[in-house]
Structure 1
Amino acid sequence: MSMMSDDTASTAWSRFDQRIEPALAVVVTLLVIFWASGLPLFMGIRVYAEQVLVAILSFASAICFLTRDFRGNKLEGRSVIVMDRLLAWAAISFGCFLAWRYPIISDEIFYRPAEALTIAIIGLIIVLEALRRAIGYSLLVVLALVCLYALFADQFTGPLQSRAIPLQRLVTFMVLDSAGMAGIALFIGATIVLPFILFSRLLLSTGGSEFFSDLSAALMGRSRGGSAKIAIVASGFFGSISGSAVSNVASTGSITIPLMKDGGYQPKTAGAIEAAASTGGQLMPPIMGASAFLLAETLQVPYREVVTAAILPALLYYLSLFVFADLEAGRVGIAPVDKSKIPSLLGTLRKGWFLLAPFGLLVVALFEYNQPPETAALIAFAFLALVSLFIMYGGGRAGWRLFMGVITQTGRASVEIALICAVAGMIIGLFSLSGLSFGLGFFLVQLGKTSVLLLLATTAVVCIILGMGMPTVGVYLLLATLAAPPLIELGIEPMAAHLFVLYFGMMSMITPPVAIAAFVAGNMAGAHPMQTGFEAVRVAWPAYFVPFIFALSPGLLMAGGWADNLMAGLGTTGGVYLATIGLVGFFVRPLALWQRLLFAVAGLSLMMPAQLFDGVNIINIVGLMVGLTLLVIEKLSVKTAKSELKSTF
């Protein structure tokens, strides 16, 4: 009898868990919409932003405890253990209590130190444990190191010496200060990034994935290496709106990787192209995985300035992917996609036009009417939701189940974003409070006085290391505080400095030894993950060089005169093309090693920015002449071979 009652109670709790988790996800999304839409102001309700942010973070933590076990693995049908259920309810209770008490605590924190410390300790345990389960230890290690520095800063010497922060002050600052857990990082993640995730989830649920895959096939399928070019277009587009290279690889890669393998690409190359295209989507305007809005918010510049600056480097990145895919197809002998598998372009547009319209609305709202990013995202979402009531790509109409599914998926997607942004906010706040930002900045500035190139190279390595395993939002917010200020202090344009750290932070996704996006793609392709990672570096090689160019040459970011912009764009484009030929080892025919070296050297010479040192213009001209000569020789040699073959027969 006792065993039966225990089983009944366990079943009842399991059913309750299955209902409370999606309910929490819905509440999180509704809170995001409530704040991002400006409803509190419209309704005359006085609400602190921190109250909403704390509630979102706490509910996201509860979702994490109800969906992941102690090791961080998803439950996937397994029951929630009692300890995790208690943690989830503790997170919910903490969020509700702090949201209710926040106005009082924030005003009287110095008069209620015991209450503040107790709340802070509870909140810290909940958030850090949820973060550990969600993404592992990477960000926790960074936080621990910063905390150790803050506690013992007076023991250091030189520029790193600062005042030590008492432990009680440290803990309460991280959780309760407006520059800590519920600071600008979480505000941006919750109120700007999540509305775009809501829009992207609806886009996918109404047939967006199939539409853009069909559109990519219709545009690229008939060209050489069409299967890879389809993957580049489709993955690049979804990478831009998803904000996560890994999730994008997992979703679009299930279609594009088999397509490339069937077309003749090696498994490691197919995985590498997918990983590179998905990662690059977060560098492509107008959305850039929401980092465009983070850049604008951080630099306090209009959104259009970010788009203008980022467009040319992003186009160069994707041009290099197209050139690589085309030349690799020529080298291996890969034919275009079978015509029977290529949909009609007009037919695809006729069936899916309504999936393009929200992007037009998004751009108009941002550029013409200067709407905040979150408002523009909600406008695009509302339009697509209305249209989907009558039509969806592939047939059918949207109903309340689809909309509830989208809202629930968005709430679940908030878990990693909210937790990463909260802890990133703690780290950013401690950088300022402890003086570490000044100490590290001073060290990097002194390094830069020796050599700006050395500073850039050091910063690039730091960005790749710190970016390992984190999505776009966390990577950028952390690096914008740590790595960008020293570059700016040494005279590099603020936009160039922030794009530089963003590029190298994102390249951690495909750079071994922790190339998460490449490893996921490699597993899906049936290739060795590490080999796929190194192949991804080979595919996306310009992303490791172009940031150095635009850091030194403002023309590549459209920040110079028209002549500078034109020369920087043409020189870098030509250099990328020539160097990619040398890297692949094919132009119109396979190339010998010495020819490949000449192409690579000519390309890199042509790419060198004029600001690098005196006399670079001469090197540019020599590189251009050598490159053109090589191209002409190769073209003529193939024509001569063809004419000799004809005369023989």
Structure 2
Amino acid sequence: MSETSTGGAVRGLSPQLWRPVANGLAALLILIACAWALNVPRYLGVSYYPQQFFALILSMALPLAFLSYPARRTSQRITLPWHDLALAVLAMATMLYITINYPQLVLQIFSRPMAVWLPGLIVTLLVLEALRRATGWALVIIIAAFLIYAMFGNYIPGRLQGRAQPWDLLAGYMAFDSNGILGLPISVAATVVITFILFGSLLATTGGTRFFTDAAMLGMGRFRGGSMKIAVLASGLFGSISGSAVANVVGTGVITIPMIKKDGYPAHKAAAIEAVASTGGQLMPPVMGASAFLMAEFLSVPYSTIVVAALVPAILYYVALFIQADLEAARLNIAPVPKDALPSGKGVIFGLHFVFAFAVLIYALFVMRWQPEKAALLGALSLMLTALIFGYQGERPKIGALIGTLASTGHAVVEIILISAASGLVIGALNVTGLSFNLTYLLVQVGGGSVIALLALSAIVCIILGMGLPTLGVYVLLAALVAPALVQVGIEPIAAHLYVLYFGMMSMITPPIALAAFAAASIARAPAMATGWAAMRFGWSAYVIPVLFVFSPTLIMIGAPVDIAIAIITAVMGVWLISAAFAGFFARRLSGAMRGLFAAFGLLALIPAGAFPGAEVSDLLGVAGGIAVMTFEIIKRKRLAAGGAA
């Protein structure tokens, strides 16, 4: 439904009036974020608190949310109602007030004057309402529960009892303190995340998205199950930048799912593999759905450390998915993509300049050691220059389209900025009440001192808390609530944070609330629950690998180089064996007993040598046994083929 009056008369502003304003705000938001990333204020001799910059970003993002998102998420925004215009003006005025007066007001939080608590209350309520419009009720309800706890936590019995805060103090604290709305999450979103999403938007505008899809088709379409492999590759590439598994499913799934179904795959499996591939994009460096940058800030380590640590588990995730796609194709006798449906190799070669932009980005990040936001802007600049010079398949982007990317990027980042601001409310409530310490103590106590019990409990909590939340919201919530308990029992901090991220993201493909799987099922017109269970099977590695790198950090590149290399090689072997067991196929269809052997030897090989005393022996048994059963199946197939020929 459009937002118009019942009598046909328009109530509010027409699109010709409000859309240019919204686009202008969106473009300005991106320009200001880029100026901050390039240190323009410092060169101009302007000095101010970082929180003033974050408040300035919110002074555009909050009004933009009320201009863009209707009050009812099912309705279509055409006419802008007057009440939404009033909320947009109120949001901008309040955030500009905070931006200008922040240095004086931040010192008065605990004296609680109206000049502090009133704008704080307004901003908190506006952030929650904008978040509801953008993402739905799930995250809003969770944050509201934390705010209620912050005011009445003294009534909770036992270890979870908190220090209750007066509502006016809480309102001012949330709006002005560096642990609240203007805290760490929005500092990452307003700088690094915005510049990387700008890079991704420019990739779409210049034809880079089409190039990578064509390259995936050209590289994988000639092999059995090519359509499935194209989905894995394309969704993995773009899932990292999108920041939302569901958005990635919708964006790439409309192309890949019909292609997979056309090749003969069952609808629920076509949907499942797209959901798993899209979800894995949130775990794949360098962006990891924006959580990589926030993780670096939480742990106070260089961003490159997070990328290196996350790389091997993410590769194993996709290796498992890719192998299953291949073996499923063999089992179902799925042919390669027809040659006439493949793009021209010559045309794809002329798009290799898009790879250069990624090379520039990686060089700036890891060789020049630039800050991520500056590296992303350099990559974006190189992308625009090469696209204007070379184009793709005879088309060059128009200057107007490149400028228009600023507005489209501004609209795209609003949701992430809102999530980041709202995440600050959770962190603020944890800090001001002492709940963070109490919850850590309780989890450790419930775990009974057993690392295995604590890991199992944490995994369940992560999957439950992650249900229905975007990637950044999932990570912030779990990093604040669950990760400290894992660190407390001696788990490597990076391993703990990656562990909660993995299990938080698995909520996207784990029934009963498997949003990514259900979104894919709706595109494939497949049963939702069947898709969810199939997605769990395809994504099995993400339930196992985090446990392994907790016990042996060699899988996150911590340890001696030789130990790391051995762990990676044996892990790949283990992933291959277990994937074959799930697919029920290797060189030929596997019997039930043989599937059991493949799974058992795969699990033994997957366990890193340093996981526990004597793990070297289990590793050796897994690899030797795996080679034996694989060899047996290959020989058996050849004998059967020879017998059939005879």
Bin the TM-score by the shorter chain. over 0.9
| Structure-2 change in CA distance of 1:7 and 1:24 (3 Å) | farther
Shift of 1:151: 2.2
Aligned to 1:187: 187
Does structure 2 retain, via aligned residues, the 8 Å contact 1:276–1:536?
yes
Aligned to 2:436: 437
Aligned to 2:4: none
Shift of 1:470: 2.5
Q: Aligned partners of 2:344, 2:14: CA distance in 1, in Å?
A: 52
1:168-213 CA distances to partner (integer Å, 9 max, x unpaired)? Answer: 2112211221210111111111111011001100111111121001
| Structure-2 change in CA distance of 1:607 and 1:307 (3 Å) | same
Aligned to 2:506: 507
Which moves more between the two structures, 441-450 or 490-499? 441-450
Shift of 1:154: 2.6
- Is 2:435 aligned against 1:453? no
1:349-406 CA distances to partner (integer Å, 9 max, x unpaired)? Answer: 2x21221111111111111111111111111112222333333223333334212321
Q: Aligned partners of 1:494, 1:622: CA distance in 2, in Å?
A: 31
1:327-349 CA distances to partner (integer Å, 9 max, x unpaired)? Answer: 00011110111122223445412
The code of the aligned residue for 1:54 comes to: A
Structure 2 residue matching 1:265: 3-state secondary structure: coil
Q: Aligned partners of 2:389, 2:616: CA distance in 1, in Å?
A: 59
Aligned to 2:24: 23
Aligned to 1:543: 542
The code of the aligned residue for 1:107 comes to: L
Aligned to 2:518: 519
Does structure 2 retain, via aligned residues, the 8 Å contact 1:390–1:398?
no
Which moves more between the two structures, 287-296 or 221-230? 287-296
Does structure 1 retain, via aligned residues, the 8 Å contact 2:66–2:87?
yes
Q: Aligned partners of 2:15, 2:641: CA distance in 1, in Å?
A: 73
Q: Aligned partners of 2:13, 2:543: CA distance in 1, in Å?
A: 54
Shift of 1:289: 2.7
Alignment of 1:581-620 (within 5 A): 581-610=580-609, 613-620=612-619
Which moves more between the two structures, 614-623 or 407-416? 614-623
Aligned to 1:530: 529
Aligned to 1:329: 329
Does structure 2 retain, via aligned residues, the 8 Å contact 1:25–1:63?
yes
Does structure 2 retain, via aligned residues, the 8 Å contact 1:67–1:74?
no
Aligned to 2:107: 107
The size of the alignment, in residue pairs, is 640
Shift of 1:502: 1.4
Aligned to 2:320: 320
| Structure-2 change in CA distance of 1:410 and 1:633 (3 Å) | same
Structure 1 residue matching 2:357: 3-state secondary structure: helix
| Structure-2 change in CA distance of 1:613 and 1:370 (3 Å) | closer
Aligned to 1:208: 208
Aligned to 1:384: 383
Shift of 1:286: 2.5
* Percent identity for Structure 1 against Structure 2: 45
Does structure 1 retain, via aligned residues, the 8 Å contact 2:182–2:424?
yes
Does structure 2 retain, via aligned residues, the 8 Å contact 1:67–1:75?
no
| Structure-2 change in CA distance of 1:303 and 1:9 (3 Å) | closer
Structure 1 residue matching 2:72: 3-state secondary structure: coil
Q: Aligned partners of 1:131, 1:552: CA distance in 2, in Å?
A: 38
Shift of 1:87: 1.3
Does structure 2 retain, via aligned residues, the 8 Å contact 1:273–1:536?
yes
Aligned to 1:32: 33
The code of the aligned residue for 1:450 comes to: G
| Structure-2 change in CA distance of 1:272 and 1:114 (3 Å) | same
The code of the aligned residue for 2:298 comes to: T
| Structure-2 change in CA distance of 1:290 and 1:127 (3 Å) | closer
Shift of 1:39: 0.8
- Is 2:252 aligned against 1:252? yes
Alignment of 1:34-433 (within 5 A): 34-73=35-74, 75-76=76-77, 78-110=78-110, 113-345=113-345, 347-349=347-349, 351-433=350-432
Alignment of 1:463-474 (within 5 A): 463-474=462-473
Q: Aligned partners of 1:493, 1:112: CA distance in 2, in Å?
A: 41
The code of the aligned residue for 2:368 comes to: Y
1:429-454 CA distances to partner (integer Å, 9 max, x unpaired)? Answer: 21111100100111122244532111
Does structure 2 retain, via aligned residues, the 8 Å contact 1:68–1:74?
no
The code of the aligned residue for 2:74 comes to: N
Structure 1 residue matching 2:29: 3-state secondary structure: helix
Does structure 2 retain, via aligned residues, the 8 Å contact 1:292–1:307?
yes
Structure 2 residue matching 1:508: 3-state secondary structure: helix
1:276-303 CA distances to partner (integer Å, 9 max, x unpaired)? Answer: 1111122222332333322222222223
Q: Aligned partners of 1:100, 1:154: CA distance in 2, in Å?
A: 36
Shift of 1:485: 1.4
Shift of 1:613: 4.7
| Structure-2 change in CA distance of 1:367 and 1:622 (3 Å) | closer
| Structure-2 change in CA distance of 1:302 and 1:178 (3 Å) | closer
- Computed over aligned residues only, the root mean square deviation of the Cα atoms, in angstroms, reads 2.1
Structure 2 residue matching 1:335: 3-state secondary structure: coil
Q: Aligned partners of 2:409, 2:171: CA distance in 1, in Å?
A: 31
Shift of 1:49: 2.1
Does structure 2 retain, via aligned residues, the 8 Å contact 1:448–1:490?
no
| Structure-2 change in CA distance of 1:388 and 1:404 (3 Å) | same
Shift of 1:602: 2.2
Aligned to 1:3: none
Q: Aligned partners of 1:29, 1:505: CA distance in 2, in Å?
A: 29
Which moves more between the two structures, 254-263 or 325-334? 254-263
Shift of 1:537: 1.0
Q: Aligned partners of 1:576, 1:246: CA distance in 2, in Å?
A: 26
Q: Aligned partners of 1:110, 1:493: CA distance in 2, in Å?
A: 37
Shift of 1:27: 1.9
Q: Aligned partners of 1:431, 1:165: CA distance in 2, in Å?
A: 12
Shift of 1:122: 1.3
1:144-165 CA distances to partner (integer Å, 9 max, x unpaired)? Answer: 2222322233333443234322
Q: Aligned partners of 1:353, 1:14: CA distance in 2, in Å?
A: 40
Aligned to 2:632: 633
The code of the aligned residue for 1:34 comes to: A
| Structure-2 change in CA distance of 1:346 and 1:399 (3 Å) | closer
**TM-score between both structures, scaled by the size of structure 2:** 0.95
Q: Which runs of 5+ in 1 are unaligned?
A: 1-5
Structure 1 residue matching 2:352: 3-state secondary structure: helix
Does structure 2 retain, via aligned residues, the 8 Å contact 1:391–1:398?
no
The code of the aligned residue for 1:452 comes to: V
Does structure 2 retain, via aligned residues, the 8 Å contact 1:355–1:384?
yes
Shift of 1:7: 8.6
Q: Aligned partners of 2:139, 2:247: CA distance in 1, in Å?
A: 19
Shift of 1:15: 2.6
| Structure-2 change in CA distance of 1:196 and 1:120 (3 Å) | same
Q: Aligned partners of 2:641, 2:383: CA distance in 1, in Å?
A: 55
Q: Aligned partners of 1:612, 1:10: CA distance in 2, in Å?
A: 65
| Structure-2 change in CA distance of 1:495 and 1:11 (3 Å) | closer
Structure 1 residue matching 2:478: 3-state secondary structure: helix
Q: Aligned partners of 2:94, 2:396: CA distance in 1, in Å?
A: 40
The code of the aligned residue for 2:394 comes to: G
Structure 1 residue matching 2:71: 3-state secondary structure: coil
Aligned to 1:481: 480
1:540-591 CA distances to partner (integer Å, 9 max, x unpaired)? Answer: 1101100000011111112112332133222222221111111111112222
- Is 2:578 aligned against 1:579? yes
Which moves more between the two structures, 564-573 or 256-265? 564-573
Aligned to 2:3: none
Does structure 2 retain, via aligned residues, the 8 Å contact 1:25–1:412?
yes
